[in-house]
Amino acid sequence: MNDRSSRRTFKQRQKEACLAVLVEAAETVIYREGYHQAHMQQIAREAGCAAGTLYLYFKSKEELYQAMVTRHTEAITDQLRVAMATKRDPVEQLKAKTVSLLDYFNRHRAYFRVSFTEAPGGRADIKSNLRDRALKAYLEFKKHELATIKRAQKQGLLRTDLPAEELVEFVHGTTASTLARWSAQTSPPRPAAQLRYLWGFLQAGLGIRNEKESGTRNGKGNGHR
């Protein structure tokens, strides 16, 4: 039994490694060509295998695309959760999340651009493009963020004239649209400017009061004058 289970584990790992290679190849090609212009032959060539091999691991092109989305969604939510865990103050958690997301964004612009513009089904919002595990991961993270926002509202750190649910939507919508814009530009703002920009608007939209303690605040009084 020990023998069997360790062998299975090895095979599992092997399979996972294969999946990762194929998904990365797909991402590379789709980033370069766009979803519809990315052909299975090209993806296979990029991955160093035959076209038929792709179908041993994925039922269809669409499923290969979903695997790519799932992989990123899980990676993102994992990373953001970790980032939020480094802070106690809910507003700082939200900011840390934003920092971390921008970090991910800058390392994976390929993905953002494609997911915002070339989704095979053709949906514009985040949620509609997610399936199964990706959707689950996304919704769980959103719940987590909602709780954080509610906590912040209770502590009087955020505007309360809108329900927390709507604020979460605002954060995601604004963030998504901003990243979509940047992902499509040939030269988006540099990371430092990105944070100032995005967090500035989130701050404003969420009605975040003066962060007296913040070291990244860019002026006394508040952001807008």
Partner DNA sequence: AATGAATGAGAGTTCATTCAT
Partner DNA sequence: GATGAATGAACTCTCATTCAT
**For residue 167, what are its two tokens?**
């604020």
| Amino acid at the residue 206 | L
Shortest distance (Å) from residue 65 CB to DNA: 10
Can you tell me the distance from the alpha carbon of 45 to that of 39, in angstroms, rounded to the nearest whole number?
Answer: 10
Displacement of CA 129 from its chain's centroid (Å):
12
Among DNA, a copy of itself, none, the one that 52 touches (CB under a kind-dependent 5 to 8 A) is DNA
Residue 221 touches a copy of itself, criterion: CB under 8 A:
yes
Q: Closer CB to a copy of itself, residue 14 or residue 216?
A: 216
Q: Closer CB to a copy of itself, residue 56 or residue 85?
A: 56
**Residue-by-residue DSSP string for 155-179:** TT-S--SS-HHHHHHHHHHHHHHHH
Q: Map residues 180-209 to x or -, x wherever contact with a copy of itself holds by CB under 8 A.
A: xx-xxx-----------x--xx-xxxxxxx
Instruction: Answer whether 162's CB lies under 8 Å from 107's CB.
Output: no
Binding residues for DNA, total number by CB under 7 A? 20
Instruction: Answer whether 148's CB lies under 8 Å from 84's CB.
Output: yes
Region for 187 from its dihedrals, namely left if φ exceeds 0, alpha if ψ lies in -120 to 50, beta otherwise: beta
Residue 66 touches DNA, criterion: CB under 7 A:
no
Length of the chain as a residue count: 225
Task: Give the 3-state secondary structure of residue 159.
Answer: coil
Residues 158 to 177: which contact a copy of itself by CB under 8 A? Answer: 158-162, 166, 169-170, 173-174, 176-177
Can you tell me the distance from the alpha carbon of 105 to that of 102, in angstroms, rounded to the nearest whole number?
Answer: 5
Among a copy of itself, DNA, none, the one that 66 touches (CB under a kind-dependent 5 to 8 A) is none
Residue 41 touches a copy of itself, criterion: CB under 8 A:
no
Residues that bind DNA (CB under 7 A): 18, 36-41, 48-53, 55-57, 59-62
Task: Note the residues at the interface with a copy of itself (CB under 8 A).
Answer: 34-36, 113-114, 116-119, 121-125, 128, 156, 158-162, 166, 169-170, 173-174, 176-178, 180-181, 183-185, 197, 200-201, 203-209, 215-216, 218-219, 221-225
